[in-house]
């Protein structure tokens, strides 16, 4: 009941924003430490934070700056509007970005132009296991939470009545080959539960990259993908030597056994705690 009240109040605030900005408003531009960022005016998650705090996820950006090299080609899978892509484009040779949501992809294009980026290529595709069409939820209040249709649906994914659309999906391995794209040195992935599908389609690519940075959210794994930690790790562990939790700074050696990492993730699952994980090669 409390969650339903919370979601009702959020939708009420959304209606107030619609009345405030007017029916012809496309978005809002924020001048932030991430760069100039235009976003849908309805967004009361990242958009609100940018408006009142002037930044988004600076700690994450600073962590990545320490391991990204100037000669790197960085792939960002799940760019959203570019709050990560834009500042990191200044730290590397080239960025290749993928964003499934056509609404936020439009804003990403404007943000790249406003920040005068010259080393960025972007694609309006979901990244998954193969080339096909997939059902997708376009969230309004938290556009960064837009996602593929969950295997096990829940009110927390549909409370703002997201539009349900079909979007094109590509396999990263195949898309790189078909379009003669540069091989990535590292991959940053934040795709709201579709990580399992994306990992299936990038097994060749994972063999040669230096590190994988990935958001880990227990309910996404369980509800959106419908898989276990063990199933997820089977697609990652063969390619890397160690994993680092960015929240706890815990470093786990996975060369000989993934059991320690599995225990760590199961602990996050039990406490419903999210984390960002870096998988590296020695």
Asked if residue 228 belongs to a domain, the reply is yes
Q: Which domain holds residue 81?
A: 56-280
Taking the model in full, what pTM does it have? 0.94
Radius of gyration of the chain (CA): 18
Please work out, in degrees rounded to the nearest 5, the angle formed at the alpha carbon of residue 179 by the alpha carbons of 206 and 175. Answer: 45
**For 171-191, how does the pLDDT look when each residue is reduced to its tens digit (9 = 90+)?**
999 999 999 999 999 999 999
Q: What is the pLDDT of residue 20?
A: 81
Whether residue 237 has pLDDT greater than 90: yes
Asked if residue 171 belongs to a domain, the reply is yes
- CA-to-CA distance for 219 and 225, rounded, in angstroms? 9
Which residues does residue 16 pair with via DSSP β-bridges, in sequence order? none
Range from 99-113, 160-174, 197-211, 258-272 carrying the lowest mean pLDDT: 258-272
Q: What is the pLDDT of residue 4?
A: 58
Asked if residue 19 belongs to a domain, the reply is no
Q: 255 falls in which pLDDT band (50, 70, 90)?
A: confident
The CATH number that applies at residue 150 is 3.40.50.150
**For 143-176, how does the pLDDT look when each residue is reduced to its tens digit (9 = 90+)?**
999 999 999 998 889 988 999 999 999 999 999 9
**Among 42, 37, 5, which residue's Cα sits nearest to residue 139?**
42
Whether residue 228 has pLDDT greater than 90: yes
Q: 84 falls in which pLDDT band (50, 70, 90)?
A: very high
- CA-to-CA distance for 43 and 143, rounded, in angstroms? 6
Asked if residue 25 belongs to a domain, the reply is no
- How many domains, the chain? 1
Following CA atoms 23, 27, 31, 36 in sequence, which dihedral angle do they give, to the nearest 10 degrees?
A: -150
Q: What is the pLDDT of residue 115?
A: 98
């Amino acid at each position: 009941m409390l969650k339903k009240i919370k979601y009702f109040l959020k939708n009420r605030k959304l209606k107030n924003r619609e009345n405030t900005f007017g029916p012809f408003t496309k978005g809002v531009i924020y001048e932030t430490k991430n760069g100039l960022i235009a976003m849908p005016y309805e967004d009361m998650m990242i958009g609100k934070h940018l408006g009142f705090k002037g930044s988004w996820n600076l700690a994450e950006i600073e962590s990545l700056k320490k391991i990204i090299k100037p000669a790197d080609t960085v792939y960002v899978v799940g760019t959203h509007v570019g709050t990560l892509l834009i500042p990191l484009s200044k730290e590397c040779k080239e960025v290749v970005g993928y964003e499934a949501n056509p609404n936020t992809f439009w804003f990403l294009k404007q943000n790249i132009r406003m920040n005068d980026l010259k080393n960025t290529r972007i694609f309006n595709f979901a990244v998954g296991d193969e080339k096909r069409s997939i059902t997708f939820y376009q969230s309004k209040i938290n556009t960064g939470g837009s996602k593929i249709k969950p295997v096990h649906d829940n009110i927390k994914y549909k409370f703002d009545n997201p539009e349900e659309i079909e979007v094109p999906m590509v396999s990263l391995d195949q898309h790189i080959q078909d379009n003669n794209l540069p091989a990535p040195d590292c991959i940053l992935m934040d795709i709201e539960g579709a990580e399992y599908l994306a990992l299936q389609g990038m097994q060749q690519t994972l063999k040669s990259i230096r590190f994988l940075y990935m958001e880990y959210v227990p309910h996404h794994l369980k509800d959106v993908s419908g898989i276990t930690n063990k199933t997820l790790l089977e697609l990652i562990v063969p390619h890397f030597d160690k994993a680092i939790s960015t929240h706890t700074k815990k470093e786990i050696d996975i060369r000989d056994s993934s059991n320690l990492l599995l225990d760590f993730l199961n602990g996050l699952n039990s406490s419903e705690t999210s984390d960002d994980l870096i998988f590296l090669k020695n």
